[in-house]
Amino acid sequence: MSPAKTAFVCLPCRASYKQQYPGPRDRDRVRPCPRCAGPLIHVGSAFAPPRRRDTAGWRTLSVLLHAGIRFHKSCCGGPGYRPRTLAEVRERMAYARATGEPFARALLRPELP
């Protein structure tokens, strides 16, 4: 049986790579991007990357990753709701500013009240 793999992303290159899960010794190790040698970001096994030409999709992904949101599977399925467009991100950020809710929690809301 092959080892389980998870996704890593390089935002400047707009590239996603499947690599082995980090082991207990590898958790603090920075994995370099094969294209630019910059650090890869561990995004989780339920990640589906946007197309390389989709600049709005990569900007949305960048906002999510900088807010600390990842795409790990849960016991019942996928990672849950994640905004896909910049308009959805803007709505949730405005809601977070208006209510004082943390950005990461507001970005994970499927619907706004």
Q: What are the domain boundaries of the chain?
A: 5-107
Helix axis angle, 86-99 to 55-66, nearest 10°: 30
Asked if 66 contacts 93 with a C-beta cutoff of 8 angstroms, the reply is no
Q: SS3 of 110, please?
A: coil
Residue at 41: amino acid letter: I
Q: Considering only CA atoms, which of 50, 36, 112 is closest in space to residue 81?
A: 112
Distance from C-alpha of 90 to C-alpha of 107, rounded to nearest angstrom? 9
Taking 70 as the pLDDT cut, the residues of the chain under it are 1-2, 27, 74-78
Q: SS3 of 39, please?
A: strand
pTM: 0.84
